[in-house]
Structure 1
Amino acid sequence: MMKVKPIVRNLGRSILIFLLMVITFSYAMFQGGFVSWFLFYALIPFLLYSFLLSIVPINIQNVQREIKPFHLERGDSARVTVRFQNKTWFPLLFLTVREIDMDKQMIDKLDGQLSNIFIVGWKRNFEWTYELRNLNRGQLAFHGLEITVADFFGWAVRNRTVSDVQTFTVYPKLTHLKYQPIQMQFDHGGIESSVSIVKDTSMVTGIRDYQAGDRFSWIHWKSFAKNETLRTKEFEDRTSQHTFLCIDRTVAYNFEEIVDLAASILQSVVKNQGDISFLSYGLTRRYFPNIKTQSQFQKVIQHLATVQPDANETIYSILTKELKNLSAATFLFITSNFSEEMSHFFTKGTSVMRGAICFVVTEGNVITKRNYPNLKVIHIGREQFQNAFTEVVKP
């Protein structure tokens, strides 16, 4: 039914224009005289153009959309360039192009640039650039273009929709953190930690024969240049304390900052070859164990780009259910709503909660800390994210 209406409307316009031509010709024939024929010859070019425009197929092809920069984070501005070609053989006076089916939040970011007008003639290639400011985290979805062409007086109006579905991701805003390994003492003394062995690539202790699975960056190229045999560097082993990170998806307040801090912590730990796992529990549950490589980190950041505060359980039931069998030494929890009830839960809960650190995201440029038995609570503002690790290791 939706497709039939434009066809009927266009047919009605064509019939109306044809009737106008017949009426002006009949008037000139029956009335005679200079004025009537002048009126006919003055109107007939416009009427003929309008009539042909109403029946000519509008052919728009090769729609392309480019967004710069390619990697977008929350709060960034994006420059969108739309290109398309007009393959219509009939000369067009002008055309209007606009994005269709855009989300309301994207329309608000356009700042009145939803459409653009082009003078056409015989021109074939068109380019339209607009800017999206202060983007929100999530998916940017573009569905296509609506092309509108018209004659001089609006007698013939043609609409053509070109589908071109493209999706772009806006990631959480990453902050460079001053990384320090989390080695802490709590009010009840040291905590037991499950440790793993990692390679300290800054300390080369020797070389050995290459084995399948060795990283490309570990190859000792100098020895390869001498004897054309692949050898691998050996590094000093060091122990690394495992960290378990969880975000609170039961609160909506400052949730964007919660996601930003979680993504920044994950990036910093992975970059510095630490051991970390991540849990995200809401309507959907996602668990990412032992995140060590960039490819694993990209999977997590892709999830964080679309995660929402949609948990329908209390945070206490979620933590009790998920962490009761966890043996990680350091538990990082990020929320924006910390209460005395939560402090009792951490300090008097199961043994897995020993050695917990709770980041409470607040407004402003603040960072304060309060110690509980086996628990550190750090209130941290957006501007202080870079000091998250240094604040943790302070006594």
Structure 2
Amino acid sequence: MNKVKRVFGRSGRLIILLLLIVSTFSYAMFQGGFVSWFVFYTISPFLLYSLLFAFAPIRIVDFKREITPAKLHRGDSAQVTISFQNKSLFPFVFLSVRELGENISKVDYKKERPNQIFFVGWKRKFEWTYELPQVERGVIQFRGLQLTFSDFFGWSIRYKFLEENRNVLVYPKLTEMKYKPFQMQFEHGGVLSPFSMIKDTSLVTGIRDYQPGDKYSWIHWKSFAKNETLRTKEFEDRQTQDIFITIDQTMDKNFEYAVDLTASILHSVVKNHGDISFLATGEKRHYFPKIKTQSQLEKVFQHLAIIQPNPKLSFESIMVNEIGLLNSATLIIVTGELTDQLKQFFIKGSKMNQGIVCFVVTDTDTQQTRTTISNAKVVPISKDNIENVFTEVMKP
């Protein structure tokens, strides 16, 4: 439909242009005199330019778009730099550049879509920079540029479209945290200290006599070559803590801050070499086990960038079905509101050895009561106090 309008619009402008040429010439011929011919010769160059402009080929090459910073997080402001070259031989007058921005839905524009006007002439290289303020989590979809060329008085208008299908992810906002392993005292006397001892095979502390059951890779072959006695390497024991974190996608209240908190916890634990797994509780379940490397963490962040709340789902039924994934890990639930469904799940999950930690993200920084439901500790966290989430768990 838009193409049809542009074709008829261009044809209509061309007809009007021809009528202007004919009418001014006819006026000069029939009226005669200095004034009529002066008007004709004065306006003729502009009419001739507009006529040639209507048929001149438009060649735009080397279209590029650079976005800084390259990785965007919620709330960031980004600069978009667009550059292209004009290879057309015809000297155009005015050029208006506009984003095809119908699909740019994750940007808080206070004005109209970004646009820029250039005086072209014989200029070849063009560059335009504008700002994307306060981007939201999700996907920014760029579809290209609309170039609008016009003559001196707008008698002829030409369009050129530079297509670009590019999606830019906006990740959750990350907050640097004061990391501490979870260790809490419950009211009924139980202590949540989910540490297990593992052998760090990268740190050898000594050797000992071989014992049945030792791994073949632990044998110290250098000592065996000297005295032909099997000896086994000893390694440093290291404490590790298994964490299983999930976000309540059935609640839309404070959901963006809940996603930010989840991403920040994941980032902090992986950065400090902890053991953590993540479960997305949307309509389609996505499970990311044992996240240790940056590439694994990046995949989780990519998923967190696009998840949305779905109030139609039941968090309790989802977790009951996925409870087998926990093993002996500490379950961390991040939500925007403590609902009756969550409370019921805490009661049903009272047999979990490692306990449950539920972070409830709140709007204000007012002091809220911490509660313990069965084997679950409910910790309210203000959206402005995310960096202290690990120390908040320690408080009674």
**Cα 1:283–1:198, aligned 2, differ >3 Å: closer, same or farther?**
farther
Q: 2:333 maps to which residue?
A: 333
Hey, what's the Cα distance between the residues in 1 that align with 2:76 and 2:295? Answer: 23
Deviation at 1:247, TM superposition (A): 0.4
Range 137-146 or range 326-335, more displaced? 326-335
Q: 1:50 maps to which residue?
A: 50
Deviation at 1:343, TM superposition (A): 2.7
3-state SS, counterpart of residue 279 of structure 1: strand
Whether contact under 8 Å (1:250, 1:315) holds in the other structure is yes
Cα shift readout 1:305-334 (whole Å, capped 9, x = no counterpart) = 111112532111111111156323311001
Q: 1:365 maps to which residue?
A: 365
Q: For residue 381 of structure 1, what is the amino acid of its counterpart? A: S
Whether contact under 8 Å (2:252, 2:311) holds in the other structure is no
1:388 and 2:396 aligned: no
Deviation at 1:241, TM superposition (A): 2.2
Whether contact under 8 Å (1:50, 1:155) holds in the other structure is yes
Whether contact under 8 Å (2:204, 2:236) holds in the other structure is yes
Q: How does 1:235-254 map to 2 (within 5 A)?
A: 236-254=236-254
**Cα 1:73–1:3, aligned 2, differ >3 Å: closer, same or farther?**
same
Deviation at 1:367, TM superposition (A): 5.9
Deviation at 1:139, TM superposition (A): 1.1
Whether contact under 8 Å (1:13, 1:54) holds in the other structure is no
Hey, what's the Cα distance between the residues in 2 that align with 1:165 and 1:264? Answer: 30
Whether contact under 8 Å (1:109, 1:135) holds in the other structure is no
Hey, what's the Cα distance between the residues in 2 that align with 1:190 and 1:248? Answer: 25
Hey, what's the Cα distance between the residues in 1 that align with 2:360 and 2:204? Answer: 40
Q: For residue 268 of structure 2, what is the amino acid of its counterpart? A: S
Q: 2:10 maps to which residue?
A: 10
Deviation at 1:371, TM superposition (A): 2.6
Cα shift readout 1:130-160 (whole Å, capped 9, x = no counterpart) = 1111110111111111111111211111111
Whether contact under 8 Å (2:107, 2:134) holds in the other structure is no
Deviation at 1:277, TM superposition (A): 0.7
Hey, what's the Cα distance between the residues in 2 that align with 1:81 and 1:138? Answer: 21
3-state SS, counterpart of residue 273 of structure 2: coil
Cα shift readout 1:26-45 (whole Å, capped 9, x = no counterpart) = 22223322122111101100
Percent of residue pairs identical: 50
Q: How does 1:172-211 map to 2 (within 5 A)?
A: 172-186=172-186, 187-190=188-191, 193=194, 195=196, 197=198, 199=200, 205=205
Hey, what's the Cα distance between the residues in 2 that align with 1:183 and 1:341? Answer: 26
Q: For residue 390 of structure 1, what is the amino acid of its counterpart? A: T
Q: For residue 123 of structure 2, what is the amino acid of its counterpart? A: K
Deviation at 1:78, TM superposition (A): 0.6
Across the aligned residues of Structure 1 and Structure 2, the Cα RMSD in angstroms comes to 2.6
Deviation at 1:351, TM superposition (A): 2.5
Deviation at 1:295, TM superposition (A): 0.9
1:266 and 2:266 aligned: yes
Whether contact under 8 Å (2:28, 2:36) holds in the other structure is yes
Range 44-53 or range 178-187, more displaced? 178-187
Hey, what's the Cα distance between the residues in 2 that align with 1:83 and 1:192? Answer: 57
Hey, what's the Cα distance between the residues in 1 that align with 2:118 and 2:14? Answer: 24
Cα shift readout 1:66-115 (whole Å, capped 9, x = no counterpart) = 11111211111111111111122111111111001334645643644621
Hey, what's the Cα distance between the residues in 2 that align with 1:367 and 1:71? Answer: 35
Hey, what's the Cα distance between the residues in 1 that align with 2:379 and 2:201? Answer: 30
Q: 1:294 maps to which residue?
A: 294
Hey, what's the Cα distance between the residues in 1 that align with 2:176 and 2:367? Answer: 17
Q: For residue 375 of structure 1, what is the amino acid of its counterpart? A: A
Hey, what's the Cα distance between the residues in 2 that align with 1:7 and 1:284? Answer: 46
Q: 1:40 maps to which residue?
A: 40
Range 34-43 or range 112-121, more displaced? 112-121
Whether contact under 8 Å (2:105, 2:140) holds in the other structure is no
Hey, what's the Cα distance between the residues in 1 that align with 2:253 and 2:262? Answer: 15
Whether contact under 8 Å (1:269, 1:275) holds in the other structure is yes
1:26 and 2:26 aligned: yes
Unaligned 5+ segments in structure 2 are 208-232
Q: 2:136 maps to which residue?
A: 136
Whether contact under 8 Å (2:350, 2:374) holds in the other structure is no
**Cα 1:383–1:119, aligned 2, differ >3 Å: closer, same or farther?**
same
3-state SS, counterpart of residue 385 of structure 2: helix
Hey, what's the Cα distance between the residues in 2 that align with 1:198 and 1:13? Answer: 80
3-state SS, counterpart of residue 252 of structure 1: coil
Q: 1:356 maps to which residue?
A: 356
Hey, what's the Cα distance between the residues in 2 that align with 1:11 and 1:340? Answer: 66
Deviation at 1:293, TM superposition (A): 1.0
> What is the aligned residue count?
369
3-state SS, counterpart of residue 289 of structure 1: strand
Hey, what's the Cα distance between the residues in 1 that align with 2:130 and 2:199? Answer: 48
Cα shift readout 1:274-313 (whole Å, capped 9, x = no counterpart) = 1111000112211001111111111101111111112532
Q: 2:380 maps to which residue?
A: 379
Q: How does 1:68-217 map to 2 (within 5 A)?
A: 68-103=68-103, 105-106=105-106, 108-109=108-109, 111-112=111-112, 114-186=114-186, 187-190=188-191, 193=194, 195=196, 197=198, 199=200, 205=205
Q: For residue 391 of structure 2, what is the amino acid of its counterpart? A: T
**Cα 1:184–1:200, aligned 2, differ >3 Å: closer, same or farther?**
farther
Hey, what's the Cα distance between the residues in 2 that align with 1:169 and 1:36? Answer: 62
Q: TM-score, normalised by structure 1?
A: 0.86
